[in-house]
Each structure stands twice: as structure tokens, then as C-alpha cells.
Amino acid sequence: MRRLVTVMMMALLAVAAVAAQTKPTTDAKAAPSPAGAWTMTVDTPHGVMTMKLDLKVDGKKLTGTFSNDMIGNHDVTGEITEGRVSFKFTAEGGGEMEFNGKLKDADSLVGTLTNGSGDMVCSGTRVKVK
């Protein structure tokens, strides 16, 4: 009986030692967030436009503003799902605009901005906080 207890204690200690050395699987890198300020370039039929995009994230929900001196400020609403970013806003004159793209990395956003005239290539660079 004493021998059985000793063997069981040794087995229990071995299992505990292995468990202590095993790294948890939660070490995965967190996905980048689109939250923050971005400088966007949009390749329009009239040339390249530079825009400002400011986004806030609440779970999967996106809110913020898309603006420049030519079109003014527009509230955007959208979502982020598995690195894919989408948002919509209504431009002057009632035209709906929609962005669909993805985070290329933590500081790069690429996609298309679509309106009634078609798709425009759009890319963004995160504004670095100084």
C-alpha cells in the first residue's frame, strides 16, 4: 500500500511539472485594431485625394469621421470582422459611399471606396502619435 501511494505521488508530481512547463496557447498576437487616426489616399476619377479618417472601435462596431477640405466631415459607421474593415457614410448631395478593405498590418489599411460612379482604390497610413 505504501508503495502504491509513493508511485501515485510521483506520477502526480510529474504531471504537475509538465503542466508548469507547458506554455499557454493564449500567447497569440492580438489582431491589430483600426482605432485611431489615419491619412487616407483615394484614387478618384479626378485625381488622387487625401482624406482624414478617425475611427473608434467598440467590439466589432466602428464609428468615426471621414473628411477633407473639399467634402467636409462625414460620420461613418461600420464594423471590423477578422481584420476586414467596412464602413459607410453619406456624402454631400445624398450619395452613399462605402469602404471595404482590410488591415494589411497594424499601420496600413487598403481597400476600395465605392459610390454610384464605381470603385476607387483607397489606402491608409496610421497617423503616428508624437
Instruction: Give residue-wise pLDDT tens across range 46-66.
Output: 899 999 999 999 999 999 999
For residue 83, list its beta bridge partners.
none
The rounded mean pLDDT for the chain is 83
pTM of the model: 0.73
For residue 123, give the nearest of 46, 31, 38 by alpha carbon. 38
What does the pLDDT read at residue 98? 96
CATH number of 36-126: 2.40.128.120
From 63, 102, 104, select the one nearest 85 (Cα to Cα): 102
pLDDT tens figures, 92-118: 766 899 999 999 999 999 999 998 889
Give residue 54's identity as a one-letter amino acid code: D
Identity at 27, one-letter amino acid code:
D
Confidence of residue 30 (pLDDT cuts 50, 70, 90): confident
Domain positions in the chain: 36-126
The DSSP line for 42-97 is EEETTEEEEEEEEEEEETTEEEEEEEETTTEEEEEEEEEETTEEEEEEE-GGG-EE
Q: Which range has highest mean pLDDT (18-22, 84-88, 94-98)?
A: 84-88
The per-residue pLDDT for 51 is 94
